[in-house]
Amino acid sequence: MSMELMVQAMSAKVGNPLRKLVLLKLADNANDSGECWPSYQYIADQCEIGRSTVKSHIKALIDLGFLKMEARNDGKSSNLYILTISKGKVKAKPDEVDYSLNTVKLEHGQDLTQSDDDLTRSGFDPVTRSGADPRTSHSLEPVKEPIKESKPKKLAKGSVLSVLIIQYHDVIPEQSIIDAIEHRQAKRAAHTHRSHAMFFDEVLSCSKGLGISPNDVINIVIKRDWKSLNTEWVRKHLIDNAPPVQQQLAITQAPQHSPNGRQAVSDAINDIHDTSFY
């Protein structure tokens, strides 16, 4: 295959879509010298059109100057084609296409025919040639499909979620892991195993340090709408939401190894009140 000839064939205006398809197939088979010798039947099979159609389009391409044809072995072998695409004549007006009978070649050699009645029902007027396009199109232009917004899919087996569930299911309920990841994704946290694993490790550390379950820690994170986690944030939340008696108890149970132990805890709680959380 010659890439240069393929580019020339794609850019050439030959006046008929099937004719251009035949030219592209010849360019696909040609060597760098522009020579190839595929049979009529081979081209017909590859282009999914009739053998007689191939012959008529090759003749037209020769007349337009896009290629030359020479017989091989006194006509006992397939013809030799020499592509001269750059010398071809650009046709000003495309060939008229007869839409009264539009035939599609199927896999098993059967023909599916669209009559005028079929085209009329689809909105195409076979008399005026107006309305909807016939069902069969041989255009080489790429089809631009409308972009559909993809809906979020459930994470498949082997995904980040599955790995995290396997890793933490012994210490954190599966539903809590799912809820935490969905919440973090909503907060635009990085959806990577490393990022989520660091979060769940902090959940376990906070759970152990404060004596509450990992599920409770995750519920607090979701309730406070936090993106990440810090043990002191959870401690502050527990103190703020505890009855006044328990708040006072938390202060009076501060470490006594320093004369200013109670004051240090009180100051820490006041500092937490002044902290902005996200």
How would residue 94 be classed by pLDDT, with cut points 50, 70 and 90?
low
> What is the per-residue DSSP string for 135-179?
S-----SPP-PPPPPPPPPPPPTTSHHHHHHHHHTTTS-HHHHHH
Say what the pLDDT of residue 228 is.
87
d(CA 236, CA 273): 8
d(CA 119, CA 99): 9
Which DSSP category does 101 fall into? Answer: S
Higher pLDDT, 188 or 109: 188
3-state secondary structure of 132: coil
Say what the pLDDT of residue 248 is.
55
Say what the pLDDT of residue 112 is.
43
Q: What integer best gives the mean pLDDT of the chain?
A: 75
Residues 173-215 have pLDDT tens digits of 999 999 999 999 999 988 898 999 999 999 999 999 999 999 9
Say what the pLDDT of residue 109 is.
46
How would residue 88 be classed by pLDDT, with cut points 50, 70 and 90?
confident
d(CA 35, CA 225): 70
Distance of CA 191 to the CA centre of its chain: 19
Token pair recorded at residue 56:
């008529």
Say what the pLDDT of residue 149 is.
57
Strand partners, 131: 124
Say what the pLDDT of residue 99 is.
40
The helix/strand count (H/E) of the chain reads as 12, 7
Q: Where in the chain is the domain with CATH 1.10.10.10?
A: 3-87
Distance of CA 89 to the CA centre of its chain: 41
Say what the pLDDT of residue 169 is.
87
Say what the pLDDT of residue 98 is.
45
Residues 112-140 have pLDDT tens digits of 444 445 444 555 555 555 555 545 544 55
List, in sequence order, every beta strand (DSSP E) within 76-120: 80-83, 102-105, 111-114
Q: Is the pLDDT of residue 77 over 50?
A: yes
Residues 14-32 have pLDDT tens digits of 889 999 999 999 999 899 8
Q: Is the pLDDT of residue 89 over 90?
A: no
Closest CA to 101 of 134, 133, 132, 123: 134
Residues 36-61 have pLDDT tens digits of 999 999 999 999 999 999 999 999 99
d(CA 45, CA 51): 8
Strands 102-105 and 111-114: antiparallel
Query: Are 240 and 246 within 8 A, CB to CB?
Result: no
Q: Is the pLDDT of residue 224 over 80?
A: yes
Give me the CATH code for the 3-87 domain, please.
1.10.10.10
